[in-house]
Amino acid sequence: MRDLLRSLTWRRRARPAHRRTDNPTWLPDVQPSGAYPALRPWQVRSRTFTIRRRGADPVEVAAYLDRVAGELAAAQVALAASRQEAARVRDALRRWQSQQVPGVAGPV
């Protein structure tokens, strides 16, 4: 009986419950640079979790994922706007610098 209990508890320790072995999508796709790819809001919304006996409430998990996806979408919109603003400022700076060079005629 003791050997049976040891073998059962050993197996439980050998396989962490937080990892899903049946679906390897929990593993991040690693880019050659070592950075994670951009996470999209639809990926957060469509993520599913394995139900365990003592698992989290599915309603709470869905609400949390929806909140995270909304914040991620807002952050991506803000990032796109800041990139456009940076490009606009960079172009304006280049135009100004080209006008400051002596001996070079400006745009006619």
Any domain includes 29: no
In tens digits, the chain (108 residues) has pLDDT values of 666 666 666 544 444 444 444 444 443 443 334 466 777 888 888 888 777 787 888 888 888 888 888 889 999 999 999 999 999 999 999 999 999 987 655 565
On whether the pTM is more than 0.75, the answer is no
Output the DSSP codes for 24-41: GGGSPPPPTTSPPPPPPH
Task: Evaluate whether residue 94 is within a structural domain.
Answer: yes
Of 45, 38, 80, nearest to 63 (Cα)? 45
Q: How many domains does the chain have?
A: 1
Could you tell me if residue 42 is inside a domain? no
Tell me whether residue 13 is in a domain: no
Q: Do the beta carbons of residue 27 and residue 60 sit within 8 Å? A: no
Q: Tell me whether residue 25 is in a domain.
A: no
Q: Which of 55, 49, 1, 54 is nearest to 22 (CA)?
A: 49
